[in-house]
Structure 1
Amino acid sequence: MKLFKGSSLMVLLLAFVVVLSACGNSADSGKSSDSSNADVKITLLNSKGEIQTQLEDAAKAFHEDNPGITVEIQAVPTGGSPFERASALYASGNPPTMIMMDTGDVEKFKDRVLDLSEEKWNGDAVVNATDLTTFDGKNYAFPLAIEGYGFIYNKAVVDKAVGGSFDPSTINTTEALEGLFKQIEASGKKALVVSPMDWSLGAHYLPLAYAGQNKDMAEVNKFVDALRAGTASIADNKVFNGLMDTFDVMMKYNIDKASALSSTYERGPELLGKGEVGIWFMGNWSWPQISSFDTANGEYGFLPVPISNNAADYGNQEISSAVSKRLVLDKEKATPEQQAAAKKFLDWIVYQDKGQDFLVNKANIIPAFKNITIPAADPLGKSIQDYISRGKSEQSMSALPADHWSILGASMQKYLAQSGDRALLAKEIEEYWKTAK
């Protein structure tokens, strides 16, 4: 009988220990993004196609540092909208753990994604980096990249054209820009290539007409609100007309003007990198492609897009830049373990050497965090940082409606193909804003 009672007591004690151990493991799994008992798989929807390979390499490096976490990189279809792709994935009940969104789309998803206000990196973000993704005092997005755009120039080509060392500060009016185009063509090269993609024309070029209205973004927002209300005329607007005067000059010297809509994104970096053209309107995200065609390791930089022939006018000496891409974390389908793993991935980017190396040196991204002191690894990033440091930065229109680029990009394409004039373009812009969501 004693033996039976002792055995029963031992069984009870062992059972109690197992219960306590299970409870302890459960509590631990909620506190840490690491999983010692099971692997965690998370997904990231990438809307920056030019860094797909770099992101895949970063996922492998992160997995080496965190063996319990696997990150799968999914791509938004070429030319597709991250808003539309994310919406489709939510509708199918299969949203990614992390989604790379344009700034203006974050608010539309704020009820479906995590509040990230308590994450450490908020305190290390550069000034204003989270302003446009903060609602009711809560920040819903990780600021991934500062990007800038304008006219990228191949210094070797323009040096030859001007007969010496080119000074980018001399190009501060539309007339000066056309003068440079003439010099480049006189040297035996083509002046520039105009990429006809709707996202380039509708999300980058046309928005300069809004941002260029005033240094004060509050005044810019008032202008956009007036367009929505139908009380502002774009057709009579000085900045818009000046910007389109510059676009007319671009069309005149476009290497592809005979078939303006036939060009592709890939053609731009090839022509510029090989020195067949001197200038290309695009952003610093294009450096990996440009460098792949430049076997001479040449120098490159940015020129502003002038909006008048008065050098002192705002916009003639400024480069458009802003935090353009954000990462949000799903809260509808992602498990607590996946959410914790995703947060760990964001911390890895900001605070670990490998993560910072991916961001700056591999992906050629200008970081939005002041603790990352690695200088830009490429000439385009350095050029953007220089403009910002000198106070020559015009804030990009990062919060435009999701369909702005597709609808008004198509309007810009008609203008580029000369199948519609400026009056039609202005009418379509005004009609768009009156019904914009």
Structure 2
Amino acid sequence: MKMTKGTALAVCIMMVLLALAACSKSNTPSDSAGQSPEAQTKPSAKDVKLTFFNTSAEVNAVFEELFKTYHALNPNVTIELIPTPIGGAQLEKFQSLLASGKPATIANLDPGTILQYKDKFMDLEAEKNKYVQLAKPGAIDGALLDGKFLGIPWTAQGYGLLYNKRVVEEAIGGSFDPASVKTRNDLETLFKKIEAAGKAPVMIHGADWSLGAHYLGMAYSLQSKSVEDNRKFVEDLKNGKATLAGNPQFTGLMDTFDLLKTYNARKKDPLVADYNKDSADFAKGNAAFYFMGDWTWAVIGTLEGRDKEFGIIPVPISNNPADYGNAQVAYSEPKLFAIDQSGSTPEQQAAAKAFLEWLVTSDQGQHAIVTQMGLSLPYKHVNAKGTNVISDAISSYVDRGQVLNIGVINYFPQDYWSKTGASMQKYMVGKIDRNGLAEEVQAYWKSYAGK
């Protein structure tokens, strides 16, 4: 679900050679990560060539340097990148590889794509317990697809109400404790103080993906902590057994959206949806809060003259602090590594498993992912340091177990965010009311009844 941006690519390319050269002094994974250095660096019995299909196109160069590093440690293993363009024809290229009978050994894909082609990938159940021990609590459960461990998570992302610490603290005249916002009323009180100080309280990005996938998408995940229960709720929407209009989670979420609309910095023209401008204005203090995710650091982190300290709070959906969602930030593993079983040899599959374990646990792999790519790893014992302070803030929620598992979206049709996002846009500008929004979204799900 992440909308990746290519703005960090130049930085990755410039830094990767120096960074990976520095990391090469450490040829074995960190012992604290529970690895066996011998297993990781022992050469294969014979030459093995792996291919790697990558949909995180903005970091192709970083992966290519990692493949070189791994080959230096394991001379009999060669890994070739199958690149994809940023934002274009990625699924079509993946499908063409399958059709040709030459699938990639390893594929970095959205979970929904892995689920769609689950028969083509290895069931990694035998590896699951090992990764449960290595990963942060809930990370592996969140990556399961139809209850199966088909893909290894390697990046974690979250979203909610980002805040600019300087702007908030100047408005309230003191230190801001993010835990002080427990309810919708708490948020409104804070917004009033910020507005009184002459600043826009919040920025809403008006794109369909932000409104449909990220904001409205929380309505399905708020039903239960169980992804399976949330899937059942969506099936009930399709079959007319459940309705949105009377659903307390939907109602509470939209009541909060009305509050955000009232205090929106873009309320005079809310559908312009200039992602770079919205992110820059927030980073430079023209809005105190911003409904967005940690991926926006690809824009914010490169800006001159921006503020330095940012954090995140959950989107409160009621005035009962104990309600699920009020203390949890939305969180998922948006990309998974899957291993082909349709055309790969047992030797290739074994080598792929070894490489992926090295990638997420070794000093070299962690440094590349966290420092070079600017991403957050859902694993314990990560020594690499990144610059993405928003990811760091989200990690603190993850470490405390305060996350809203949005894994139900892995089972959604690929047009759900554009179709329901268009309805959210109409609601945002007053073309339909709350009942009209519920009816349009309900009609969308009913169109998928039996599918």
Flag whether TM exceeds 0.5 (same fold): yes
1:401 to 389, 404, 412: 412
Distance of aligned partners of 1:173 and 1:85 in 2 relative to their CA distance in 1, 3 Å threshold: farther
Tell whether the 8 Å contact from 2:107 to 2:339 is kept in structure 1 after alignment.
yes
Instruction: Count residues with an aligned counterpart.
Output: 400
Distance of aligned partners of 1:179 and 1:330 in 2 relative to their CA distance in 1, 3 Å threshold: same
Tell whether the 8 Å contact from 1:33 to 1:340 is kept in structure 2 after alignment.
no
1:59 to 61, 64, 79: 64
Which deviates more from structure 2 when the two are superposed, residues 139-148 or residues 92-101?
92-101
Q: Give the structure 2 partner of residue 107 of structure 1.
A: 115
- Structure 1 residue 337 displacement after superposition: 6.9
Question: What one-letter code is carried by the residue in structure 2 that aligns with 1:229?
Answer: N
Tell whether the 8 Å contact from 1:302 to 1:380 is kept in structure 2 after alignment.
yes
What do residues 255-304 of structure 1 show as CA deviations (whole Å, max 9, x unaligned)? 22233222233223211222222111111222232222264561111111
Give 3-state SS (helix, strand or coil) of 2:268's partner: helix
- Structure 1 residue 344 displacement after superposition: 4.5
Distance of aligned partners of 1:212 and 1:82 in 2 relative to their CA distance in 1, 3 Å threshold: farther
Distance 2:99 2:141 in 1: 28
Which deviates more from structure 2 when the two are superposed, residues 220-229 or residues 367-376?
367-376
Matches within 5 A, 1:22-41: 40=49
- For the pair 1:353 / 2:363, whether they are aligned, the reply is yes
Tell whether the 8 Å contact from 1:260 to 1:416 is kept in structure 2 after alignment.
yes
- Structure 1 residue 145 displacement after superposition: 2.0
Distance of aligned partners of 1:337 and 1:195 in 2 relative to their CA distance in 1, 3 Å threshold: farther
Distance of aligned partners of 1:75 and 1:246 in 2 relative to their CA distance in 1, 3 Å threshold: farther
Question: What one-letter code is carried by the residue in structure 2 that aligns with 1:113?
Answer: F
Tell whether the 8 Å contact from 2:284 to 2:307 is kept in structure 1 after alignment.
no
Matches within 5 A, 1:406-425: 406-425=418-437
- For the pair 1:116 / 2:128, whether they are aligned, the reply is no
- Structure 1 residue 201 displacement after superposition: 2.0
Distance 1:339 1:105 in 2: 20
Distance 2:198 2:44 in 1: 59
Distance of aligned partners of 1:260 and 1:81 in 2 relative to their CA distance in 1, 3 Å threshold: farther
Give 3-state SS (helix, strand or coil) of 1:320's partner: strand
Distance 1:250 1:92 in 2: 49
Distance 2:446 2:96 in 1: 26
Q: Give the structure 2 partner of residue 284 of structure 1.
A: 294
Tell whether the 8 Å contact from 2:110 to 2:336 is kept in structure 1 after alignment.
yes
Give 3-state SS (helix, strand or coil) of 2:338's partner: strand
- Superposition RMSD in Å: 3.3
Q: Give the structure 1 partner of residue 78 of structure 2.
A: 69
Distance 1:350 1:435 in 2: 41
Distance of aligned partners of 1:234 and 1:110 in 2 relative to their CA distance in 1, 3 Å threshold: same
Q: Which runs of 5+ in 2 are unaligned?
A: 1-41
Tell whether the 8 Å contact from 2:237 to 2:442 is kept in structure 1 after alignment.
yes
TM superposition score normalised by structure 1: 0.79
Distance of aligned partners of 1:86 and 1:198 in 2 relative to their CA distance in 1, 3 Å threshold: farther
Distance of aligned partners of 1:94 and 1:273 in 2 relative to their CA distance in 1, 3 Å threshold: farther
Question: What one-letter code is carried by the residue in structure 2 that aligns with 1:111?
Answer: D
Which deviates more from structure 2 when the two are superposed, residues 412-421 or residues 228-237?
412-421
Give 3-state SS (helix, strand or coil) of 1:307's partner: coil
Q: Which runs of 5+ in 1 are unaligned?
A: 1-30
Percent of residue pairs bearing the same amino acid type: 38
Distance of aligned partners of 1:332 and 1:259 in 2 relative to their CA distance in 1, 3 Å threshold: farther
Matches within 5 A, 1:204-353: 204-217=214-227, 219-293=229-303, 295=305, 298-332=308-342, 342-353=352-363
Distance of aligned partners of 1:379 and 1:323 in 2 relative to their CA distance in 1, 3 Å threshold: same
